[in-house]
Amino acid sequence: MKFVSTRARNEKKEYTAAEVIKQGLAPDGGLFVPTEIPALTAEDLDRLAGMTYPQRAAEIMGLYLTDYTAEELLNAANLAYGAPKFPENNPTPITKVGSLEILELWHGPTSAFKDMALQIMPHLLSMALEKTGETRDALILVATSGDTGKAALEGYADVPRVRIHVFYPTDGVSRIQKKQMATQQGSNVNVTAITGNFDDAQSGVKAIFADSEMAELLDKEGLFLSSANSINWGRLVPQVVYYISAYCDLMNAGRLNKGDLMDVVVPTGNFGNIFACCLAKRMGLPVGKMICASNQNNVLTDFINNGVYDRRRTFYQTVSPSMDILISSNLERLLWLVAGPEKCASYMEALAKDGVYTVDEQVLEAVQAEFAAYFCDEALTKNVLREFHENLFYLADTHTAVALSAAESYRRSLDEKRTVLVASTASPYKFSPAVLESLGKDVPEDGFEALRSLQKISGIPAPARLAALEQAEDRFTEVIAPQDMKSAVLAFARS
C-alpha cells in the first residue's frame, strides 16, 4: 500500500506507510492518503469477529501498513491494548442505553479516546525509524485542545529516539487536563501553554512544520519533526479498528445481524475520529450514515448541510473544549476522496486565503450521501447530559452528550428502526465541573473536589489515575505567546 499527499497535483510522489508515519505531514503541506482503500469482505468480518481486540487491530492495520509484518503489528497491539493499559477483557466496551449503543473509547490510561491511537503510535513510529534507515531522532510537535496532548505525552514518554513537545491553549483546557499535562513524567517530554485558542496552537505548529530554516536548525541537533496529531495517518489507522471491532462485538452479542446497517454518531472536532469511520465504511463495513455532531462551533454542521465551509465566525469556548475547533484538518482527506485532488487543493487554497470555500453541487451530494450533521448549543448539551443520567442512568461526559443529542435528533428523522452506535470519547470524570453543572449540582471551585462530588452522585469510582493527579507535582508551568512557539521548540531541541 502506497500513500500520496492530498495536495500533490501533477507529479505524484508515493510514500510507504513507515515514511508516512515518520513524517506526519507531507512536504507540500498536504495530508497523506492511501492510493486505494483495502476491501473488507463479509468473510473477513466473520473471521475478525472470532478474534481478540489486539488481533483485530493487527489484521486491520496490516491492510494499510503493508511494510510492517503481521508479527510486528500484533506485538504492538498487544502492548498497546492489553492490560495494564486497558481493561483485560475488552478495551472498547459497548453499553446499550435506551435504543442507542454507546461505544466507550476512554478506558485507556488518560481517560479519553485519543489513547486508542496514541498507545500504539509510538510503537509504529519506533519501527518506522528502523524501517526507513533514519539516523536522526524524532521531535514530535503536538497542538492540543486538551486530550491529545496528554494521550501523546503518555504514549511517547521515555520512548527511545523520540522527544515530544506539546502546546495547549492556556484557557482552553479543563483543570484536570491541565494538571494531567503539567505533571507528565518522562525525560523526553516538554509542555508549553500558549495565550490564544486551539487554532492558534495548531497554526503555530503547522507553521513550524512548514519552516525550512527550522528543519535545518533541528537537523544540526540530530532531530527531525514529526507529528502525533490526527493529521498523522498513524493516528487514523488504529481508529478504523474500533468501528469494525464494534460491529463484530454487536454481531457476537446478537444485537446486530450480519449485514445490517449501523449508523454511527461521532462527536467531532478535527474530523479525525469520524473520518476513520468513513474509511471503515469504504472498506466495506456495513455503515449507514455517519452523523457528525458538533458543539456551538458548528462550522462542520453548516458545511455538511450547505456545502459552505466558513471559518470566519465567532470562536466559542464550550463545555466540550476538545471540540472547540474551527479548522477541521481531516476534512481535507474527505474532500480529496470525494472531490479529487484538483478541487481539494483549490478548496484548501481558498480556506487559507479567504477563510471560506464552497463546494459544488456534485461534491455536496456526495458528502451528504454519507454524512448527516447536527450541532448542539451549551444549554442543550447540558440538558441532554442530565436527561440521560436521570432517565437512563447513564453518565456521559460533555463531548459524548453532544453526540447523544445528535443521535436523538437523527433518530427522530428516521422512519425505520436502525442500530445507532454513538462514539463516547471521554470519561465524565475528565470534565467533572461541567458534568456537575449539567446535572444541576453545586460545582466546587476545585477540579478534584468536583471529581469527588461527581463520584458521590454517580456511585461509580473515578479512574484511579485521574484521582491520583491531585497529589502530583507540576513540572511545566510556562505560558508563552503563539509567536514564540518556534523559539520554545528550538530551546527544547537544544536542551
Residues forming contacts to ligand PLP in the complex (CB under 6 A) are: 112, 114, 147, 230, 267-273, 322-323, 399, 425-426
Shortest reach from residue 323's CB to ligand PLP, in Å: 5
Residue of 485, 448, 438 lying closest to 178 (CA atoms): 448
Residue holding cell 473536589? 449
Task: Considering the complex, state which of residue 265 and residue 363 has its C-beta at the smaller distance from ligand PLP.
Answer: 265
Task: Considering the complex, state which of residue 193 and residue 256 has its C-beta at the smaller distance from ligand PLP.
Answer: 193
Residue holding cell 505525552? 153
Task: Considering the complex, state which of residue 204 and residue 267 has its C-beta at the smaller distance from ligand PLP.
Answer: 267
Task: Considering the complex, state which of residue 101 and residue 137 has its C-beta at the smaller distance from ligand PLP.
Answer: 101
Give the whole-angstrom CA distance, residue 150 versus residue 372.
30
* CA dihedral for 460, 464, 468, 469, sign (positive or negative): negative
465-473 contacts at long range (C-beta below 8 A, 24 or more positions apart): 465/109, 465/110, 465/111, 466/111, 466/176, 466/180, 466/427, 466/429, 466/430, 469/176, 469/179, 469/180, 469/183, 470/179, 472/179, 472/183, 473/183
Q: 277: buried, middle or exposed (CB in 10 Å: 19+, 13-18, 0-12)?
A: buried
Shortest reach from residue 138's CB to ligand PLP, in Å: 22
Task: Considering the complex, state which of residue 16 and residue 227 has its C-beta at the smaller distance from ligand PLP.
Answer: 227
Given a contact cutoff of 8 angstroms between Cβ atoms, the answer to whether 164 and 454 are in contact is: no
Q: How far, in Å, are 222, 233, 415 from residue 163 at the CA level? A: 12, 19, 52
Give the whole-angstrom CA distance, residue 78 versus residue 446.
37
Shortest reach from residue 46's CB to ligand PLP, in Å: 29
**Cis amide linkage into residue 54, ω under 30° from 0:** no
Task: Considering the complex, state which of residue 45 and residue 304 has its C-beta at the smaller distance from ligand PLP.
Answer: 304
Task: Considering the complex, state which of residue 34 and residue 269 has its C-beta at the smaller distance from ligand PLP.
Answer: 269
Determine the straight-line distance between the first and last CA of the chain, rounded to whole angstroms.
Answer: 38
Task: Considering the complex, state which of residue 131 and residue 311 has its C-beta at the smaller distance from ligand PLP.
Answer: 311
Residue of 173, 111, 115, 114 lying closest to 460 (CA atoms): 111
Task: Considering the complex, state which of residue 101 and residue 397 has its C-beta at the smaller distance from ligand PLP.
Answer: 397
Shortest reach from residue 60's CB to ligand PLP, in Å: 18
Give the whole-angstrom CA distance, residue 59 versus residue 48.
8
Shortest reach from residue 152's CB to ligand PLP, in Å: 11
Shortest reach from residue 429's CB to ligand PLP, in Å: 12
**Total count of residues recorded for the chain:** 495
Task: Considering the complex, state which of residue 123 and residue 399 has its C-beta at the smaller distance from ligand PLP.
Answer: 399
Given a contact cutoff of 8 angstroms between Cβ atoms, the answer to whether 436 and 402 are in contact is: no
Shortest reach from residue 241's CB to ligand PLP, in Å: 15
Shortest reach from residue 67's CB to ligand PLP, in Å: 25
Shortest reach from residue 416's CB to ligand PLP, in Å: 28
Task: Considering the complex, state which of residue 72 and residue 200 has its C-beta at the smaller distance from ligand PLP.
Answer: 200
Give the whole-angstrom CA distance, residue 495 versus residue 186.
14
Residue holding cell 451528504? 368
Given a contact cutoff of 8 angstroms between Cβ atoms, the answer to whether 351 and 311 are in contact is: yes
Shortest reach from residue 259's CB to ligand PLP, in Å: 28
Task: Considering the complex, state which of residue 55 and residue 322 has its C-beta at the smaller distance from ligand PLP.
Answer: 322
Edge-first strand order for the sheet with 223-227 is 223-227, 137-143, 162-169, 189-194, 479-480
Residue of 451, 386, 491, 389 lying closest to 174 (CA atoms): 451
Residue holding cell 436502525? 418
Shortest reach from residue 166's CB to ligand PLP, in Å: 14
All cell numbers assigned to 274: 469520524
Give the whole-angstrom CA distance, residue 108 versus residue 83.
10
Shortest reach from residue 150's CB to ligand PLP, in Å: 10
